[in-house]
Amino acid sequence: MSKVIAFKNGSELSALNKNDDISYKIQPFIQEILDNLVVGDILEKAITKAAKKHQQLAESYFEYGANNIAESFSLKDEFLFLNHNPITSFSYQNKQRLLSKVGQEIIENESILPDIHNLLYLCGQSNLTYKQICQQISSYAIDLLDKLIKYKIVGEQEPSRKSIPQKKPGIFRLQHATLLYRTKTTGILVDPHLHSNYGISNIKNDITRAQLEGSVDAILISHSHYDHWHYPTLMMFSPEIPIFVPKVPRGSIICEDMEARLKILGFKNVTCVDWNADPIMVGDIEINILPFYGEQPLVPEYNQPKHPNLRNWGNTYLLRTEYYTSWFLIDAGQDPMGSMFDVAEYVKQKFGKVDYIVSNFQPLSYNSIGANLSSWGIDILGNLLSNPQILSVTNKPEGEHLATLGPTGVAEICKIVEAKSCLPYADSWAEIGQPGVNDEKLIPAVAIELKNLGCLSQVVPWKIGDGYVVNGKAEILAGALA
C-alpha cells in the first residue's frame, strides 16, 4: 500500500489577523501600564508614565482627555472596530523536532486562503498520496506542501488505523474544549483544535486529524477566543462541511465576524442562527442554539464596555439524540446582559431533564488574571482593551466577579436541569489518557457543591481521549483514542 500524506505528531499550525498584529504592537505600552500599577500607581499616573515612554504607540493607537485620563483612556474606534481584519500570516512548526524552526507564509492577498484551505483539507484526509494531492492543488499550494514536508508538519506515512469508534454513540473528550458528539450514524465536532500552537510541545501521543476522518458531519463553534476558534484546524475539513457559528452584530477586537471569516477561507455552508430559534437537524442529531452569557471582560468597578458591540458573542448548544441529551456550556456564566441560570430554567421548561452537562469547571475572573502579558493569549489583551479601565484591577489577588460558572455555578445548573452527570472539559491540553490539568482539584470541588445543594448529579472523571455514553448507557469508554 502506498504511503499517504498526513499531519505528523508534534506539528503546530497558527494564523494571525490584523487585530492580532495591532495587539502585538501595543503590547509593550500596555505592559508598561500594568508594571506601573503593580508598584502602586493609580491608573491615571500609570497611563501618563507609560505614554511618555511609548509616546508613538500611545499617540497612534489611543485617545484620552487631558483632564480625565483614566476615565477616557481608550483604544481608538478605528482599531476597536476594524473595517477589514484580514489574515496576515500563517505559521507552522514541529516542536518535537530538535532545533525546529518556524516557517511562515505572509498573506499579502487573501485570495490565496482557499488554496491553503484546500491543501490542509487534502492533507487532513490522510488517505491521499503526494501525487494525488498535487493533482488537486494550485502551483502555490504545491510549493507550500513542499515546505510543510520540509518542516515535518506533514509527511508520508502508513494510513492511520486509529479512529473514533463510529458505531458507538457518545461524547468524546478531545483536547481542551474540543468535543465530538456521536450517534451510530452522525458526528458533530465542537470547537476543534488539532495540531495547534496551543498544544503541549512534548506530548507523546496527541489526537490527530486522521483519527476523525469520516466521523464529522458538522462543526459547532461556541465563541471566538483562540482556544475555541482555530483557523488552521477548521481548514483541515471540507469546504462543504456545515459549520454553525454565533451571530456577531459587528466585528471587533474582542470578537470577529466568524461567518464572514469562514467564507473568506472558502467554506460554503456557514450558518449563524438566533438564540432559541427552531432546532437544526444534522443526521439524527437535533441541535438547539442557546444563549452564551459570561466570560465578558467586566468587573464590578467597570461592568460595561466602551461600546455595546464590544462583546464576546457566543452560543451554547443543547444536542438531543435518541441515546442522550447533552448541553455544553463552554466558558459561560453570567453578565449584565443575562444569566445562564435563567437559561437553565428555560431549558428545563422546554426540554425537560438534561442527561449530561459538559462545562468548564474553572472559576475564571478578570480581577485576578495577573499583570504579566507574556502569560496571556493575545486575544486576552484585545478583551481588556474593550474595557481598558479594567487594567487597574487585573492584579488583585482574589477575583470579585466570576467570568465563568465555577464549581458553584456548574452545580446550580445541574440541579436546575436535573442532570444525571456533569463532565469537565476546556481544561487545557494533556496526554491522551490523562485528565485535564485542573481536574484533580475541580472535580472534588464540583462534587462538594452538588452535595451541598442536595443534587444527585454525578461528576464524571473522564480523561483526554475518553468517550462517555455507549448505546444509551452511562459508561466511560476509556482510551477510545489511545
**pLDDT tens column, 333-368:** 999 999 999 999 999 999 999 999 999 999 988 887
d(CA 367, CA 403): 9
Q: Per-residue confidence at 436, pLDDT binned at 50, 70, 90?
A: very high
Residue 134 three-state SS: helix
What is the tens place of the pLDDT at every residue in 97-129? Answer: 877 899 999 999 999 999 999 999 999 999 999
At 306 the pLDDT is 80
- Going by C-beta distance under 8 Å and a sequence separation of 6 or more, which residues neighbour residue 390? 297, 298, 299, 301, 302, 366, 384
At 399 the pLDDT is 66
CA dist list (Å): 472 to 171, 355, 467: 11, 10, 12
308 belongs to a structural domain: yes
What is the phi/psi pair of residue 299, to 5°? -140, 165
Matching residue, cell 474544549 = 177
List, in sequence order, every beta strand (DSSP E) within 37-160. 62-63, 74-75, 87-94, 103-106, 154-157
What is the tens place of the pLDDT at every residue in 15-72? Answer: 999 999 999 999 999 999 999 999 988 999 999 999 999 999 999 999 998 889 999 9
312 belongs to a structural domain: yes
What is the tens place of the pLDDT at every residue in 380-424? Answer: 888 889 999 999 888 777 666 889 999 999 999 999 999 999 999
220 belongs to a structural domain: yes
Number of domains the chain is built from: 1
Structural domain boundaries enclosing 292 = 162-477
Matching residue, cell 477566543 = 225
**Calculated CA dihedral for residues 377, 326, 404, 18, nearest 10 degrees:** 30
473 belongs to a structural domain: yes
Residue 3: CB atoms within 10 Å: 12
407 belongs to a structural domain: yes
The angle formed by the CA atoms of residues 311, 388 and 425, to the nearest 5 degrees, is: 50
CA-nearest of 327, 238, 337 to 287 is 327
CATH number for the domain that contains residue 251: 3.60.15.10
Name beta bridge partners: 14.
Answer: 91
Contact 197, 14 (CB under 8 A): yes
186 vs 397, residue with greater confidence? 186
Helix axes 340-351, 406-417, angle to 10 degrees: 20
422 belongs to a structural domain: yes
pTM: 0.96
Looking at every residue in the chain, the average pLDDT score rounds to 92
What is the phi/psi pair of residue 367, to 5°? -70, -30
d(CA 53, CA 325): 56
127 belongs to a structural domain: no
177 belongs to a structural domain: yes
